[in-house]
Structure 1
Amino acid sequence: MSQTDIALFRQRCAQFRWLAVFMVTSVGALLALIHFVAPGVLLARGDYDGTPGGWMSDLVWALPTVFYLFAVWAIGSAMGQLSKGRLIQPILVHALRRVGLSLGLGGVFSVFGVTNIVRMIEGGRGGFAYFDVAGMTLGMIGGALFLLGGVMEQAGRVQAELDEMI
């Protein structure tokens, strides 16, 4: 790679980092507005007609999004590290593990956790699993990324060992 290509790669990594920061903060702010600020304002005005259980159910339904936003944050963090010129292999290992774990947990929670916790809150209505193809897909991709991060970590150790022998 030429110096121009490296500089362009770092610039794009920095841009992607800021895109990730923008996405996490904007979506996080919207989630906070929808689930905390608006109900709080309505409650303070005396116009809130929902139940505490309904509010809790809405929070539980939004919880997988927090895991997904953490995955985006982890990717943005890795891109920020790369834009500063840090080594790709250790950053990639760390990012794959964090992104994989958060996507996997978000997907599993989306399919199994949400429905069962909402069932407990609402008194037994609903099924044991939510047929959420996107959640299932993200969970599987997350698990695969987590495993690939482990393989890359092992490859880095083997490479370091081989470098010591030479």
Structure 2
Amino acid sequence: MSQTDTARFRRRCAQFRWLAVFMVVSVGALLALIHVIAPGILMARGDYTGTPTSWLAQFVWALPTAFYLFAVWSIGAAMGQLSKGRLIQPTLVHALRRVGIALGLGGLLSVFGVTNLIRLVESGRGGWAYFDVAGMTLGMIGGALFLLGGVMEQAGKVQAELDEMI
């Protein structure tokens, strides 16, 4: 890779980092406004028409999004590290592990956790699992990314060992 290609790659990584920060901050702020701030203000003014149980149920439905936003944040952090010149292999290993865990937990929570937490909040109403194809897909991709991070970590150790032999 030439110096201009490396500089272009780092510049694009920095741009992607800011895109990830913008996405996490804007979507996170909207979710906080919808599920926490607005109901809190309405409750304080006495204008809230729902019950605390319905507010808690809406909050539970939004929980997987927090894991997905953490995955985006982790990708942005990795891009920021790459833009500063950090080595790709260790940065990628760390990012794959964090993104994999976040997507996996978000998917599991979306398919199994949300419905069962709603059953607890709403006194037994609802199913045992939610047939959410997107959540299932993200959970599986998260697991695969976590496993790939482990394989890349092992490959890095083997490469370091081979480098010591030479």
TM interval, shorter chain, is over 0.9
Map 1:1-166 → 2, pairs under 5 A: 1-166=1-166
Instruction: Tell me the CA shift for residue 40 of structure 1.
Output: 1.1
TM-score of the aligned structures, taking structure 2 as reference length: 0.99
Structure 1 alignment gaps of length 5 or more: none
Cα deviations by residue, 1:105-157 (Å, 9 ceiling, x for unpaired): 00000000000000010011111000000000000000000000000000000
Structure 2 alignment gaps of length 5 or more: none
Q: Which amino acid in 2 is paired with 1:63?
A: L
Secondary structure in 2 matching 1:85: coil
Q: Which amino acid in 2 is paired with 1:113?
A: G
Pick which of 40-49 and 129-138 moved more. 40-49
TM-score of the aligned structures, taking structure 1 as reference length: 0.99
The separation in 2 between residues aligned to 1:44 and 1:86, in whole angstroms, is 48
RMSD (Å) for aligned C-alpha atoms = 0.5
The separation in 1 between residues aligned to 2:119 and 2:52, in whole angstroms, is 14
Pick which of 44-53 and 155-164 moved more. 44-53
Instruction: Tell me the CA shift for residue 64 of structure 1.
Output: 0.1
The separation in 2 between residues aligned to 1:37 and 1:60, in whole angstroms, is 15
The separation in 2 between residues aligned to 1:105 and 1:41, in whole angstroms, is 31
The separation in 2 between residues aligned to 1:40 and 1:55, in whole angstroms, is 10
Residues matched between the structures, number: 166
The separation in 2 between residues aligned to 1:47 and 1:96, in whole angstroms, is 45
Instruction: Tell me the CA shift for residue 45 of structure 1.
Output: 1.4
Q: Which amino acid in 2 is paired with 1:13?
A: C
The separation in 1 between residues aligned to 2:82 and 2:51, in whole angstroms, is 47
Where in structure 1 do 4 or more consecutive aligned residues deviate above 4 Å? none
Instruction: Tell me the CA shift for residue 44 of structure 1.
Output: 1.5
Q: Which amino acid in 2 is paired with 1:81?
A: Q
Instruction: Tell me the CA shift for residue 41 of structure 1.
Output: 1.1
